[in-house]
Structure 1
């Protein structure tokens, strides 16, 4: 049974985020575009204690077809990095880096004696996968050539991380050592059985928004099944060893299960941890016993 802390956050987080189903796709697009117009895209560090004293941040500029976008490098002070974590943030492809992303990767940086690379990729609906994919793959390839890399992401970012891993595999050259996927969105075609049933159990994610955001990110319907967009449908042989977490009160769980099943008939070494009755990206939640267990498993896998 989930812990009381998890149950409180499962009730409270969707309310704090004002999560609800969309009225129409047109209204949702207009809402998101208004929100984007006033977004502060600086790195949100406010919930990381003493961040400015404990971490150095540098920012480089990446270039895609639609223009430039930043990638932040977070390095703990007093540590010579032994590896790099390239972390691709979630948010349905339409939300920016969140303070909880920064909190999580800052903890990873300390625990693994690592620098963290956080690309702040262009968001849908104004942008599609085509505006950042090649630049993200080039970024990861450069860091892989520099030393050991962990490639990871949460939710939509988990899908992007997997798409990057597929492209690196197909290019050849240095590869990530490990992958870490938290509730990854890896099938934007929503082809996995039972997705509608899981939507009724999820207090945070909504099926109408899932379809809308997938359409925006793909840009056109014929791109929905491409490996750059739905990497969970691509051949899996040759990917780096991976650890993947998902709860069963998560609308993305059917796609994640489908990926785990497909991995069994491939050469991909995937460890899948499914947590009964836990919500989307539960390893990112603060003060939750289940997240602490996931953290311990993560460090054992990555170390």
Structure 2
């Protein structure tokens, strides 16, 4: 049974984030394009108490020649006074239309402090102005660089979880050093939204909206014809030969049918994927650090990553 604190969050977060169905894809595109023109892209470090005293941030550009010719920034967080033992590449969620937010930075800082890691946060270009093709190869190149340098975890939530899996698959196909682990929080792995149970879970999810998922998926893919390609829907692609993985999802989450599909296909492929499904919990609940269910997920994550 979900905790009272979780259930209060399940009501509060959708209200704070304006979680509504859309009546027009054209109006939604225009709204997001206005938002992108006006929003700042600074790392929201104010999400972490005394961040500047506790952590250092370095930013560099990757993927020159993509995303309009300038590439895109990657922020690296490290704990001051600490020598990192490993690297975590964290790919943020947000339906491929939203930037890094305070939840992501807070979780990344926790990874950096607890795992004695440097945590990289790519600020990849967003839909609808960009598609997967504007960042995918650059992210695979970055991951190859990191894995060649030492132990590396690839992680992500929601859209970022799907992107993490897609990057891991492309890196596997290239050969060379691979990540040691994959960590996936409610990953969006099937942008075709073809699993039969999707409509039922859409009625139970207080946060995600099916009309938005359809629009955002097509924008990210570039066209409806490309929704099933492996870089876009990695849950439908070859799952053999991937690093050991841990995946979390709750059952009040529109993405749970895709996570279940991924778990079934992983077993068929012989991929070492541990799937933790929590009854009654909302989307990306492990990132909501102040609920007891997230603390339980954190303990499992620490045990998994060692």
Aligning the two structures, in what range does the TM-score lie when normalised by the shorter sequence?
over 0.9
Are 1:6 and 2:9 an aligned pair?
Answer: no
CA shift at 1:222, angstroms?
Answer: 1.7
- Where 2:52 maps in the other structure, the secondary structure is helix
**Superposition pairs for residues 39-50 of structure 1, below 5 Å?**
39-50=39-50
Give the alignment of 1:83-122 within 5 angstroms.
83-122=86-125
Q: Which runs of 4+ in 1 moved over 3 A?
A: none
Task: State the shift of 1:221 in Å.
Answer: 1.6
Q: Which residue of 2 aligns with 1:201?
A: 204
Cα distance in 1 for partners of 2:34, 2:196 equals 34
Once the two structures are superposed, the pairs formed by residues 13-24 of structure 1 within 5 Å of their partners are: 13-24=13-24
* Structure-2 separation of matches of 1:162 and 1:55: 28
**1:65 Cα offset (Å):** 2.7
Q: Which residue of 1 aligns with 2:61?
A: 61
Q: Could you list the per-position Cα deviations for residues 43-95 of structure 1 after superposition, in whole angstroms to 9, with x for gaps in the alignment? A: 11111011001111111101253322100111111110000000000000000
Structure 1 stretches of 5 or more lacking a match? none
Task: List runs of 5+ in structure 2 lacking aligned partners.
Answer: none
| CA deviation after TM superposition for structure 1 residue 267, in Å | 2.1
Q: How does 1:189-228 map to 2 (within 5 A)?
A: 189-228=192-231
Structure 1 segment 1-303 matched on structure 2, within 5 A? 1-63=1-63, 64-66=65-67, 67=69, 68-303=71-306
Q: Deviation of residue 276 (structure 1)?
A: 0.3
> 3-state SS of the aligned residue for 2:155?
strand
Alignment size in residue pairs: 303
Helix, strand or coil for the counterpart of 1:52? Answer: helix
Between the aligned partners of 1:135 and 1:235, the Cα distance in structure 2 is 21
Measured in 2, the distance between the counterparts of 1:199 and 1:267 equals 30
Q: Please, what is the CA RMSD of the aligned residues?
A: 0.7
- Please report how far the alpha carbon of residue 152 of structure 1 lies from its aligned counterpart in structure 2 after TM superposition: 0.4
- Looking at structure 2, the residues matched to 20 and 274 of structure 1 have their Cα atoms a distance apart, in angstroms, of 25
Using the TM superposition, give the Cα deviation of residue 39 of structure 1 relative to its aligned residue in structure 2, in angstroms: 1.0
Alpha-carbon distance in structure 1 between the residues aligned to 2:52 and 2:195: 43
What's the CA shift for 1:286? 2.8
Q: Secondary structure at the match of 1:265?
A: helix
Distance in 1 (alpha carbons) for counterparts of 2:187 and 2:212: 16
- The whole-number CA distance in structure 2 between the counterparts of 1:232 and 1:192 is 11
Cα offsets for 1:246-271 (capped at 9, x unmatched): 00000000010000011111121000
The TM-score, its normalising length taken from structure 2, stands at: 0.98
Query: 1:205 offset after TM fit, Å?
Result: 0.3
CA deviation after TM superposition for structure 1 residue 190, in Å = 0.5
TM-score by length of 1: 0.99
State the Cα distance separating 1:223 from its structure 2 match. Answer: 1.2
